[in-house]
Structure 1
């Protein structure tokens, strides 16, 4: 029980840092970065995509690290990446150095996500594993909300964004120490039949996984556009009424993070509604979120509803990625989750680049509406594809 608490708390801290400021912080501070480095929207899209590419590469490397060295090394490497990358951002003097810092910091999320599935499997009693993973997942929402709170506190100072990133970096240093201690001396994994394991790996390409990969790619594209440009959209619209423009983005992130706690109800909603209805509902919420931030970015109700819906979608789909991949491939729970996250990361890379390209022919409102159209199409197509793929049998 003591070990499960240590793993849960360490996991919550690691995901809070890696998915809060390290992976999502660029979009939060984009207005300040644009002013400090004279960055265009197209350049911002390329920087954001570069960061998501770092996340993608780290996902692949984390699988190798976990299989050879165990989850502890992958998580510690991720915390180091967060610390170094966020420190680089805090002292950056050019767009190129800023980009390098964003890439290194974003990589931390790839190193810190799936290894905790392995750590829980090895170091937590089976009856506590679900609770432990739920606590770990809440770290994401907490990290996003706290990053928004930090940005809110330093928004009025000239170089406040540098101080914020320095504080984020110091927090990552604390996570390194905690991870080193909490994940020490985990029990060994049970022996594996590698011939069976290799054969099972081919199942990751089985047609029954295509609907899962499809929603991962779709949401990867739209969510990365939201994370990269939503704050800038609010800023360009003049901010929220009665509030300094520089404070509007932090409010968006705090709402985003707090609403993500609704993701804890995903498993119960799945039991009540079934996968087709639940996923369709999530993508309709994603569509509404994107449309609202596109057309009413300076409205308090519109912005708060948009950010809350997007935060809820992130956490619900994260839960679905985890338990659906484990259900499809029970012998490859960690590897199958990594496969889904790789597809999600590909969408993350594509989204900001496409947004930057489209923005040349339309404004960002149009980009958000197009992204909303993709979510709507996914909501319509997924239930049909799911029922055809599984012959109308519940899965």
Structure 2
């Protein structure tokens, strides 16, 4: 039938265009935007004379921008549809990266990190709404996994650029200027893809937030907080930690952070298979494995920082932890609250952002007092304990409120 065929073609078009647009948005905002400070910490520390406490505070400031932008994105989504918050996020990324590239004083660097990291809060959650309304149910986990895994490509490319900085003698300022240009390009592409997605009917009123007050949310919020705390600590300190340990055989110490984030991003492509893993294993076992991967990553960073096995294994496990857990939160929230897909996902990411803010600030103080090894081992306890505690009866998947 012509009408049915046209509808199927429209769904395929939306699947392709929204997946590609979301992939580009997350690649920029969650790649160099959210991860870039930690990747370039050794260069920033040398230029601006940063210690562990200052690094932790700037990182937490950036993640504070992420927290605030999550709330702003929800308001903009209800009033303007997904296009406006996504474009605001990519504009924030472009501005923040440009400020970092031009920074000659610490306050300007901190402001750039704030705006660059804030882009991630604006640019991801609106895609949950667009995907929920424009893509059929069977394809949503795949689309959401593809969108979230844009982060992996962004991180891997940022890591490769950091390696180029060392081997080709490229200034970190030039690289951040290139990141800003990439943000502007993603902004133009997303404007074209999201123009036809209408305004959401999911308004963020108090009744909507109250609808999320269900026991089924508790495991999701705990997973989000554990992800946020452990990943922010890793992002902020791992590259510098491996470099300070002397690097690994055959790799200059200055190139170590780039190698860490390159391995992180490549391994994170496992997030593309999250939907398939869930079908094979079930949600609770998959989430448990993702949390234990995060714990193993931090433990390897603490215990084997001077070997390729420690660096590659730690970075790869962190990539799997971050990307698989992120994809889980995206489709788990949509499954639990099909009538509030974006608000429920925002709630999960607010828990992540709370961990993002708390983790680096505390870790910087612990590292300054007790050393990096103790700090990383302590951080490993957070996802490790949750992974061991998770049981199937706590991880509910069927809808809390019918959509």
Question: Structures share a fold, TM > 0.5?
Answer: yes
Distance 2:78 2:278 in 1: 31
The range that moved more, 171-180 or 161-170, is 171-180
SS at match of 2:146: helix
Cα deviation for residue 268 of structure 1 reads 2.8
**Alpha-carbon distance between aligned partners in 2 of 1:269 and 1:138, rounded to the nearest angstrom:** 15
Q: Cα deviation per residue 1:197-246 (whole Å; 9 max; x = unaligned)?
A: 86453131212211111121122111100000000001111111111111
Q: 1:174 aligns with which of 185, 198, 202?
A: 185
Question: What does residue 25 of structure 1 align with?
Answer: 36
Aligned twin of 1:165: 176
Please tell me whether the aligned partners of residues 3 and 123 of structure 1 are also in contact (alpha carbons under 8 angstroms): yes
Rounded to whole Å, the distance in 2 between the matches of 1:216 and 1:388 is 15
**Aligned residue number for residue 45 of structure 2:** 34
Provide the residue aligned with 2:393 in structure 1.
Answer: 387
1:111-149 Cα shifts (integer Å, max 9, x gaps): 001111222234445565444333322211110000011
Work out whether residues 144 and 327 of structure 2, in 8 Å CA contact, stay in contact via their aligned partners in 1. Answer: no
Alignment partner, residue 343 of structure 1: 351
Indicate the residue corresponding to 1:295 in structure 2. Answer: 303
Distance in 2, matches of 1:388 and 1:54, equals 31
* TM-score, reference length from structure 2: 0.91
1:346 deviates by 0.3
**1:374 alignment partner in structure 2:** 382
User: Which structure 2 segments of 5+ residues have no match?
Assistant: 1-11
Note the C-alpha offset of 1:388.
5.8
**Which stretch shows the higher mean deviation, 243-252 or 49-58?**
243-252
Question: Partner of 1:46 in structure 2?
Answer: 57
Give the distance between the partners of 1:232 and 1:132, measured in 2 at CA: 34
Taking a change above 3 Å as real, the CA distance of residues 37 and 285 of structure 1, as seen in their structure-2 partners, is same
Shift of 1:339: 0.4
The verdict on how the C-alpha distance between 1:124 and 1:206 changes in structure 2, with shifts beyond 3 A counting, is closer
> Contact 1:200–1:331 at 8 Å: present in 2 too?
no
Q: Which of the numbers 312, 327, 348 marks the counterpart of 1:304? A: 312
Counterpart Cα distance in 1 of 2:132 and 2:390: 31
**In 2: Cα distance, 1:18 partner to 1:347 partner:** 18
8 Å CA contact 2:228, 2:353 repeated in 1: yes
Q: Are residues 199 and 373 of structure 1, via their aligned partners in 2, closer, same or farther at CA, if it must alter by over 3 Å?
A: same
User: CA, structure 1 residues 126+205, in 2 after alignment: closer, same or farther (shift >3 Å)?
Assistant: closer
Is 1:141 the counterpart of 2:161 in the alignment?
Answer: no
* 2:111 is equivalent to residue 100 of structure 1: yes
Summarize the Cα distance change of 1:279–1:3 in structure 2 as closer, same or farther, 3 Å threshold: closer
Paired residue total: 389
Alignment of 1:149-298 (within 5 A): 149-156=160-167, 160-189=171-200, 199-298=207-306
The separation in 2 between residues aligned to 1:353 and 1:341, in whole angstroms, is: 19
Task: Please state how far the C-alpha of 1:359 moved relative to its aligned partner.
Answer: 1.6
Contact 2:336 2:399 in 1 (8 A): no
**8 Å Cα contact 2:239-2:256 kept in structure 1:** yes
Q: What is the CA–CA distance in structure 1 between the aligned matches of 2:112 and 2:314, rounded to whole Å?
A: 29
* Separation in structure 1 between the aligned mates of residue 399 and residue 142 of structure 2, nearest angstrom: 25
- Aligned partner (choices 361, 373, 382) of residue 365 of structure 1: 373
What SS is found at the alignment partner of 1:117?
helix
Pairwise CA distance, 1:21: 0.2
Q: Hey, what's the Cα distance between the residues in 1 that align with 2:221 and 2:162?
A: 34
SS in 2 for 1:9: helix
1:328 to 332, 336, 339: 336
Contact 1:123 1:187 (8 Å CA) reproduced: no
1:156–1:246: 8 Å Cα contact kept in structure 2? Answer: no
Deviation, 1:30, is 0.2
Do structure 1's residue 57 and structure 2's residue 63 form an aligned pair?
Answer: no
Contact kept? 1:284, 1:376, Cα under 8 Å: yes
* CA distance in structure 2 between the partners assigned to 1:334 and 1:328 by the alignment: 11
Runs (5+) with no aligned partner, structure 1: none
Shift of 1:167: 0.3
Match of 1:77 among 83, 88, 103: 88
- Residue 302 of structure 1: how far off its partner (Å): 1.2
Q: Structure 1-normalised TM-score?
A: 0.92
Which residue matches 2:4?
none
